Structure 1
Amino acid sequence: MNSYAVFTDQKLIISMKSGNQMAFEEIYERHWSALYRSAYNVLREEAGSLDVVQEVFIWFWEHRDQLEVNSIRGYLLTAVKYKVANYLRSGKVRASFYDAIPKVDLDTAFPNEELEVKELREMINRFTEELPDRCKEVFRLSRDEYLTNKEIALRLGITEKTVENQINKAIKKLKTNLGKLSVFLSL
């Protein structure tokens, strides 16, 4: 057990602000797993979630002398939320992000993240409503009913290529809309 393990978060911030890297490392050890889980609950990809957390901690260290923080955990979780939004806006997230949204189990999510996941689902549903009728129908059959492209094509009497094109069109529009939204959330 290192000597910083007994420090309160406020003492760690004060120490870190003066350039103490050991205090920063203790903050990292205390909070990185919660930040990773928060990012992963939305992105559903390990590499992207790790990137987000790393970027948040790098920024946190580089701006340590300017920080006015009451709750380290709350501050860092908020930073992760904004970084995730930026990550989505930048298009780094794979289409599998949209596959994972309906599968997020809110019962196992952390209480303070449950509302954010619900809000994200509601935003996606609102954006989906803006899609052309055929595109909306194909996207919902894929995401809500979990039908394969082949099953959707058979049900609607269209080609699998048309199904694929409609899903890609929907995902592109959702990325664009989420990107516009996240402009207001940047760090």
Structure 2
Amino acid sequence: MSAFHLLDDDQLAGQLRDGNELAFTEIYNRYWDKLYYLAHKLLKDTAAAEEIVQDVFFILWKKRETLAIKSLAAYLAAMTRYAVYRLISKDKKLKKQENIAGMSGVGATSEMNVDNKILLEIITGLSNKLPEKCRLVFQYNKLQDRSLADVAEQLNMSRKTAEAHLTKALKIIRTSLSNFMALLF
């Protein structure tokens, strides 16, 4: 058993500054529970509180030579509180970014749905101006997503004839769409 448990905080801080690992161990044993209680009280999260306290002790050891500690208990408590506040701030920023990303995703999806509906209305309007057989083949195949073989069978025509009508319909609609887009832009 070491004599470090008999030393006061100022003496331990001096020994810590000199790099004495036993002094650090005594500080750790003396304050770990108190700092954990403080962090847990603020965070209400066991794992996060433990991690905060471990980080406080890690920083204490890492910066031991440059620290000017007047009151070890107050210094460690302040380090713990500030670490908790940084974690809370970081979590708030992360949640805010997630909310913004989620909202922009919803807005983009909604905007895309509107754009798709407008485009579908334009294409439907253009297809209504096609000759009857072309219009039927195009609407059944492209707008109702039916196979060309089914469309040909339903309209009582050969598959080659249905393909010819579809090709003609697509050519007319593409030309009309490019003219329409040129007018828009």
Question: TM-score with structure 2 length normalisation?
Answer: 0.49
| Structure ID, larger Rg | 2
Q: Which has the higher contact order (CA 8 A, sep 6+)?
A: 1
Whichever structure has more helix as a proportion of its residues is 2
Question: TM-score with structure 1 length normalisation?
Answer: 0.48
